[in-house]
Amino acid sequence: MIQAETPFGPGLAFASLASSSVFGNAYLVRGAGSAILIDCGLSRRALEQGLLELGVPPASLGAIFITHEHTDHTRSLCLKVSFAQKHGIPVFAGREVWRSFGYAYGLSPALREEVRDGDEVAVGELRVAALEKPHDAVEPLCYRVSLVGQEWHSVAVVTDLGHLPWTLADSLRGASALVLESNHDVRMEMTSGRPRYLIERVLGNLGHLSNEQAADAVVRLATGATTQVTLAHLSIDCNRPELALDAVAGALRRQGLAPSVEALPAGGTSRLYHTGAAAVSA
Ligand SMILES: [Zn+2]
Ligand SMILES: [Zn+2]
């Protein structure tokens, strides 16, 4: 069936297929023989094209993990025939997330899986830990993906985060790669001309991390083991990559940490990021 022996290459690697509220969110994480998506908020065709660009045939995905029900994270799930249904991929989401969809998604019950805070799911050599996060959604989760037997080698994918509680920081600290939201510049958001309620939602405790909040978060999460920080879910209207990069890289530098820091493209496929030395046989 969908069990693939596909040799994707050694170690743990990740990429985004899009990373914004406008173009959607989907993050590929793959080991040598298994690959997953975190979120599928693009059109079916865009997901298929992006995966092929990254050398991962869609049907070889072992699972899709949903962070929350917002459309920019679930677009290809809420179709008559979802991306997951077409390619026979199991989808993990919180019970309340499934409930929020009602029957408005094209996925057979056999492919629906429940996941909740504290769960660890094995997908081939990948181990996916689900962790609750603060965001204005019914059951928001983020994920830390590691290699079985090499748990120090991990990618944490954390977008749509109102703030960083210490319990979540404890669970994410020291990941080899952080995919972290740096959503907006506060001044640009405040002067955006958006409706007041929307601005308050974004800035609120259950909204999105600003550049300054991402900078504060990253120094709580990164350690000497962190080799890659990749900024995600940047607002197209209320942020600029150089502002986010300045804030986060500056904060890391002041802590004496020097991981590579890059911003993901809002739309389109990013490059493939390898998480540190791929000491597969170590
Ligand atoms: Zn989002
Ligand atoms: Zn959201």
- Residue 58 forms part of a structural domain: yes
Residues 6 or more apart whose CB falls under 8 angstroms from that of 50 comprise: 17, 18, 26, 28, 42, 268, 269
Q: How far apart are CA 247 and CA 227, in angstroms?
A: 18
Answer yes or no: is 280 within a domain.
Answer: no
Q: What is the CATH number of the domain that holds 94?
A: 3.60.15.10
Over residues 150-165, mean pLDDT: 95
Confidence of residue 106 (pLDDT cuts 50, 70, 90): confident
Q: Are residues 133 and 251 in the same domain?
A: no
What pLDDT, on a 0 to 100 scale, did the predictor assign at position 105?
Answer: 74
> Is pLDDT of 1 > 70?
no
Question: What spacing in Å lies between the alpha carbon of 202 and ligand 2's midpoint?
Answer: 10
CA of residue 9 to ligand 2 center, whole Å: 32
**pLDDT score recorded for residue 219:** 97
Same domain, 101 and 19: yes
Q: What is the pLDDT of residue 103?
A: 65
pLDDT in tens, 125-136: 999 999 999 999
- Residue 108 above 50 pLDDT? yes
Residues 125 and 169 grouped into a single domain = no
Both tokens of residue 139? 């059951």
Ligand 2: centre distance to CA 33 (Å): 30
Counting the structural domains of the chain, the total is 2
Q: How far, in whole angstroms, is CA 147 from its chain's centroid? A: 17
pLDDT of residue 152: 82
281 domain-assigned? no
What's the confidence (pLDDT) of residue 276? Answer: 62
Count Cβ neighbours within 10 Å for each residue of 242-258 and write b for 16 or more, e otherwise: ebbbebbbebbeeeebe
- Residue 98, in any domain of the structure: yes
- Which pLDDT score is estimated for 199? 97
CB 71 within 8 A of CB 46: no
Q: Is 131 among the domain residues?
A: yes
pLDDT bin (cut points 50, 70, 90) of residue 193 is very high
Quick check: 20 and 233 in contact, CB under 8 A? yes
Averaged pLDDT of the chain: 93
Please report which ligand is nearest the Cα atom of 140: 2
Task: State the distance from the centre of ligand 1 to the C-alpha of 179, rounded, in angstroms.
Answer: 13
Residue 4 has pLDDT above 60, yes or no: no
- Whether this prediction's pTM lies above 0.85 is answered by yes
Residues 133, 165: one domain? no
Q: Of all helices (H) and strands (E), which one includes residue 238?
A: none
- Report the chain's terminal Cα–Cα distance, integer Å: 31
Ion ligand 1: residue ranges with CB closer than 5 A: 72, 160
Model confidence pLDDT, tens digit, residues 181-191: 999 999 999 99
The mean pLDDT value for 29-34 works out to 94
Q: What does the longest C-alpha to C-alpha distance in the chain come to? A: 54
Last residue of a domain, one of 147, 175, 207: 147
Q: Is the per-residue pLDDT at 241 higher than 70? A: yes
In a domain, 273, yes or no: no
On whether both 114 and 183 belong to a single domain, the answer is no
270: nearest Cα among 244, 235, 239, 231: 231
pLDDT tens digits for 67-85?
999 999 999 998 889 999 9
